[in-house]
Amino acid sequence: MVQQVLYRALVSTRWLSESVLANRIGPSLQVLDVSWYPPGERDAQQEFRDKHIPGASFFDIEECKDKSSPYELMLPSEAHFANYVGHLGISNDTHVVVYDGDDLGSFYAPRAWWMFRVFGHRTVSVLNGGFKNWVKEGHPVTSELSRPEPAVFKATLNRSLLKTYTDMVENMESKRFLVVDSRSEGRYRGTEPEPGNEGLEPGHIPGSLNMPFFKFLTEAGFEKSPEEIRTMFQEKKVDLSQPLIATCRKGVTACHIALAAYLCGKPDVAIYDGSWSEWFRQAPPEHKLSEWKRNKA
């Protein structure tokens, strides 16, 4: 079998800084700030207006989603995604670099990386270390807003990278896919509350394993090496040669698992887009494992 040549999932702050200084930002290279924070904590758009990577555009994940869904951040349609990123100057020939300003170094960037991939765009990378390290290392920032020339983007949904509630129910019987949950251990086990005001109790899908997403990052906010990540999967008995689905609360940090596996040469991890938010509301009680009610009794 011929091994697939994977596009680089990460670019360094040095590489991007050299690209910015060489005025390479344009039709062939676009940079997106994909930051998002819970209401009342930080204002992602205002922070972008105050300071961002020169030439970057703001990717508003609240605008680029299925607004008709009762769940928080479900994928938009092909047409919606194509129109949205096209207005950001992105064509099918553009190398897209995504980053966010989270204190961890990376939070929403892997979600945007996966969104481009699930809509058929191969040339997309995450800025390793995020905006946190870009600033820390003294790379240039600006408050000047860019106005990229609109481009034509054709989106083609890659259904193999996306799982629905129906798919997850079927997998309960077939067990064809191993399911890995990226939330913290306490939320996975049901001993700590879920964040937000959606009325979700903590717990997990039966049969799923737990790999908290932040453990794929170093203390400084960079992705750990492929060797370290591969060891982490092995310790959790996650066989990267087998089909894999990643889940979390709303389909965001699950993408860290997909990125980590990609760095180990596995590009086909699927994301359960509805994740625990959907599963908790739709699945029967016996398909929701939790210590929450027992502890509250």
Return d(Cα 152, Cα 224) in angstroms, integer: 35
Strand 124-127 to 10-11 pairing? parallel
* Distance, CA of 289 to CA of 204 (rounded, Å): 5
Distance CA 135, CA 51 (A): 10
Which residue numbers are catalytic?
Answer: 248
Q: Is 2 exposed, middle or buried (0-12, 13-18, 19+ CB in 10 A)?
A: exposed
Residue 181: beta bridge partners?
A: 210, 247
- Burial track 106-121 (b if 16+ CB lie within 10 A, e otherwise): bbbbbbbbbbbbbbbb
